[in-house]
């Protein structure tokens, strides 16, 4: 009998399942963080050998070296960047999704998973006030979502023999917009933001007076650095006047559509042509997942549908996710969001997002009431910018690193209007404002 090249180790499998169960129920160690290359190479640099080191030793490297050398963005004290807060249900189904080995690039390979993903996309489209015919796809992250949407915008423009050379966006637009423009070999027209970081329609209109070749306007729905939501309704008017595509980059902030009290912030989105929102940010799903939604999906398919002899057997009348973004092969990365929504219900999502907004408001109020701390901006959605009055930039960085290493708080400096400040972004409903304010009290 021939020995299989990849034998199963039942003991190692049980160990892995036990570790996953504990990680889901107990969460990460907040003291974890990046290690130097030298430290990692000393322990991982010789792990791949001709005969293998065995499942037990390889998994020990995962648990004892790899995981402790990563930042635990899903811990309630991880408030830097835009972190993550996946629900237990989302983490659980994600743990088994890989084992299911679903090809979700086309209907033939993954119809059940795709149908479920489309239910989640339909919920998001409904929050935006879009018709039932709206749809899209889950991609890996906001950069690919923005690229795919803006490529569709350019194709829509060039189908009418119009020049498509410029994208209009805010100076607070995410870095991915500049990256997308570079990949597409087009130029950006950046519009100055107001004191809160918002792009207003009047400023955008002034910026396009002498411009030609504009094919898309990108509106922020929760700018990463400051949480600003642009004047979407005014920008929708401008897009209509110019007959161009309006794309809403809501990678972080559009999750707040689920909270009725926050919904008016996004008025005008019902008139946009596309939007993105990352479930792995504020919709309680694990990495990596970005929902890209088109109000008219056909326009996405006209830009992204691939042709090839090996694809001719596919049912072109079915919903093939490969038609709606720059990809072909894909995993069913939208299933954790669908499973979590199905498990807890949309009311739980509304409550969790409202709770995080309340937490942000409590922290901002506490900062404002603390002598020696200055509230610079916010909360806008759940982003807060603030500064201690006595610390130098170097001392600020040292304080942030000390809190990170102790596990007390992950809060890192950023720059706002040329000044070094501290930034918090709350997306985890388990974050304790009293704990956060207690740590911030060590700044003064």
Residue indicated by tokens 């940010």:
281
Query: Looking at the structure, do residues 252 and 341 belong to the same domain, yes or no?
Result: yes
- Helix, strand, coil % over all residues of the chain, rounded to 5: 45, 15, 40
Give exposure, 188-207, as e/b (b: 16+ Cβ within 10 Å): bebbebeeebbbbbebbbeb
Report the percent of the chain where pLDDT is more than 90: 93
Mean pLDDT calculated for residue range 44-49: 96
- Residue ranges making up the domain that contains 392: 347-443
What DSSP character marks residue 64? I
* Inter-residue contact 108 to 249 (CB < 8 Å): no
Query: Looking at the structure, do residues 253 and 281 belong to the same domain, yes or no?
Result: yes
Mean pLDDT calculated for residue range 381-385: 98
CATH of the domain at 427: 3.90.1150.170
Question: What is the pLDDT, as a whole number, of residue 209?
Answer: 86
Question: What is the pLDDT, as a whole number, of residue 3?
Answer: 77
Q: For residue 79, is it within any domain?
A: no
The residues, any chain, with a CB within 8 Å of residue 96's CB and separated by 6 or more, are: none
Q: For residue 323, is it within any domain?
A: yes
Question: What is the pLDDT, as a whole number, of residue 313?
Answer: 67
CATH of the domain at 151: 3.40.640.10
* Confidence grade of residue 211 (pLDDT, cut at 50, 70, 90): confident
Average confidence score pLDDT of the chain: 95
Q: Measured over all CA atoms, what is the biggest interatomic distance in the chain, rounded to whole angstroms? A: 77
Q: Are strands 373-380 and 383-388 parallel, antiparallel or unpaired?
A: antiparallel
Query: Looking at the structure, do residues 98 and 179 belong to the same domain, yes or no?
Result: yes
Among 346, 372, 390, where does a domain finish? 346
Q: For residue 50, is it within any domain?
A: no
Query: Looking at the structure, do residues 352 and 338 belong to the same domain, yes or no?
Result: no
Question: What is the pLDDT, as a whole number, of residue 289?
Answer: 97
Report the percent of the chain where pLDDT is more than 70: 98
Query: Looking at the structure, do residues 327 and 428 belong to the same domain, yes or no?
Result: no
Q: What is the dihedral of CA 244, 245, 250, 255, to 10 degrees?
A: 120
Question: What is the pLDDT, as a whole number, of residue 344?
Answer: 98
Q: For residue 20, is it within any domain?
A: no
How many folded domains does the chain comprise? 2
What DSSP character marks residue 301? H
Rounded Cα distance between 415 and 79, Å, is: 16
* Confidence grade of residue 314 (pLDDT, cut at 50, 70, 90): low
Tell me which long-range contacts 96-103 makes (C-beta under 8 A, separation of at least 24): 97/331, 97/332, 97/335, 97/336, 98/331, 102/331, 102/332, 103/329, 103/330
Rounded Cα distance between 276 and 146, Å, is: 7
pLDDT tens per residue, range 252-275: 999 999 999 999 999 999 999 999
Q: Quick one: which H or E segment has residue 96?
A: helix 88-100
pTM here is 0.96
| Minimum mean pLDDT range among 44-58, 174-188, 295-309 | 295-309
Among 328, 346, 364, where does a domain finish? 346
Rounded Cα distance between 135 and 120, Å, is: 10
Query: Looking at the structure, do residues 359 and 305 belong to the same domain, yes or no?
Result: no
Mean pLDDT calculated for residue range 80-93: 96
Query: Looking at the structure, do residues 382 and 271 belong to the same domain, yes or no?
Result: no
Radius of gyration of the chain (CA): 23
* Displacement of CA 309 from its chain's centroid (Å): 35
* Inter-residue contact 20 to 98 (CB < 8 Å): no
Mean pLDDT calculated for residue range 17-37: 96
* Inter-residue contact 443 to 99 (CB < 8 Å): no
pLDDT at 1 > cutoff 70: no
pLDDT at 407 > cutoff 70: yes
pLDDT at 187 > cutoff 80: yes
Query: Looking at the structure, do residues 294 and 391 belong to the same domain, yes or no?
Result: no
Mean pLDDT calculated for residue range 64-69: 97
Mean pLDDT calculated for residue range 411-432: 96
pLDDT at 312 > cutoff 80: no
Query: Looking at the structure, do residues 160 and 107 belong to the same domain, yes or no?
Result: yes
Question: What is the pLDDT, as a whole number, of residue 310?
Answer: 64
Query: Looking at the structure, do residues 286 and 429 belong to the same domain, yes or no?
Result: no
Of the candidates 371, 364, 365, 408, which has an alpha carbon nearest to the alpha carbon of residue 390? 371
Q: For residue 36, is it within any domain?
A: no
Q: For residue 67, is it within any domain?
A: no
Q: How far is CA 223 from CA 51, 152, 195, 248, 304, in A?
A: 50, 22, 13, 11, 27
What DSSP character marks residue 371? T
pLDDT at 346 > cutoff 90: yes
pLDDT tens per residue, range 364-378: 999 999 999 999 999
Rounded Cα distance between 217 and 170, Å, is: 9
Would you call 225 helix, strand, or coil by DSSP?
coil
Rounded Cα distance between 186 and 184, Å, is: 6
> From start to end of 12-68, where are the E strands?
none
Rounded Cα distance between 82 and 409, Å, is: 14
Query: Looking at the structure, do residues 227 and 308 belong to the same domain, yes or no?
Result: yes
Question: What is the pLDDT, as a whole number, of residue 115?
Answer: 98
Q: For residue 424, is it within any domain?
A: yes
Residue indicated by tokens 């689920």:
258
Question: What is the pLDDT, as a whole number, of residue 292?
Answer: 98
Rounded Cα distance between 239 and 52, Å, is: 58
* Confidence grade of residue 307 (pLDDT, cut at 50, 70, 90): confident
Question: What is the pLDDT, as a whole number, of residue 316?
Answer: 67
Query: Looking at the structure, do residues 203 and 265 belong to the same domain, yes or no?
Result: yes
Among 304, 331, 346, where does a domain finish? 346
pLDDT tens per residue, range 240-255: 999 999 999 999 999 9
* Inter-residue contact 234 to 202 (CB < 8 Å): yes
Mean pLDDT calculated for residue range 380-405: 95
Q: For residue 376, is it within any domain?
A: yes
Helix crossing, 346-368 with 335-344: angle to 10°?
90
Question: What is the pLDDT, as a whole number, of residue 309?
Answer: 66
- The residues with which 128 forms a beta bridge, in sequence order, are none
């Amino acid at each position: 009998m021939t020995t299989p090249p990849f034998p199963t180790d039942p003991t190692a499998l049980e160990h892995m399942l036990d570790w996953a169960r504990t990680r889901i129920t107990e969460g990460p160690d907040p003291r974890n963080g990046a290690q130097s290359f030298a430290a990692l190479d000393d322990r991982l640099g010789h792990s791949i050998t001709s005969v293998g080191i065995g499942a037990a030793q390889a998994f020990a490297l995962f648990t004892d070296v790899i995981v402790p050398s990563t930042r635990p963005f899903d811990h309630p004290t991880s408030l830097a960047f835009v972190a993550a807060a996946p629900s237990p249900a989302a983490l659980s189904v994600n743990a088994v999704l890989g084992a299911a080995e679903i090809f979700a690039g086309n209907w033939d390979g993954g119809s059940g998973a795709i149908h479920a993903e489309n239910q989640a996309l339909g919920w998001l489209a409904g929050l935006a006030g879009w018709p039932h015919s709206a749809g899209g796809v889950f991609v890996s992250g906001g950069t690919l979502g923005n690229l795919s949407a803006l490529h569709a915008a350019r194709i829509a423009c060039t189908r009418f023999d119009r020049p498509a050379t410029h994208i209009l966006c805010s100076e607070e637009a995410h870095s991915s917009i500049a990256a997308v423009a570079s990949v597409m070999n087009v130029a950006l027209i950046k519009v100055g933001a107001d004191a809160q970081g918002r792009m207003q329609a009047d400023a955008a209109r002034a910026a396009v007076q002498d411009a030609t070749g504009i094919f898309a306007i990108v509106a922020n729905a929760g700018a990463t650095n400051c949480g600003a939501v642009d004047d979407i309704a005014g920008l929708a008017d401008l897009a209509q006047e110019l007959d161009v595509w309006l794309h809403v980059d809501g990678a972080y902030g559009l999750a707040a559509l689920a909270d009725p009290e926050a919904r008016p912030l996004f008025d005008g989105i019902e008139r946009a042509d596309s939007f993105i929102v990352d479930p792995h940010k504020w919709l309680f799903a694990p990495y990596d997942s970005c929902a890209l939604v088109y109000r008219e999906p056909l326009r996405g398919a006209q830009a992204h549908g691939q042709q090839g002899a090996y694809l001719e057997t596919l049912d072109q009348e079915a919903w093939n996710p490969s038609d709606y973004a720059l990809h072909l092969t894909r995993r069913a990365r939208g299933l954790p969001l669908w499973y979590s929504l199905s498990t807890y219900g949309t009311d739980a999502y509304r409550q969790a997002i409202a709770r995080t907004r309340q937490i942000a408001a409590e922290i901002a109020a506490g900062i404002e009431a603390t002598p020696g701390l200055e509230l610079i901006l916010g909360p806008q959605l759940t982003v807060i910018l603030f500064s201690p009055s006595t610390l130098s930039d170097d001392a600020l960085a040292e304080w942030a690193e000390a809190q990170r290493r102790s596990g007390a708080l992950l809060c890192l400096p950023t720059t706002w209007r040329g000044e070094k400040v501290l930034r918090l972004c709350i997306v985890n409903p388990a974050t304790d404002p009293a704990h956060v304010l207690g740590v911030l009290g060590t700044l003064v």
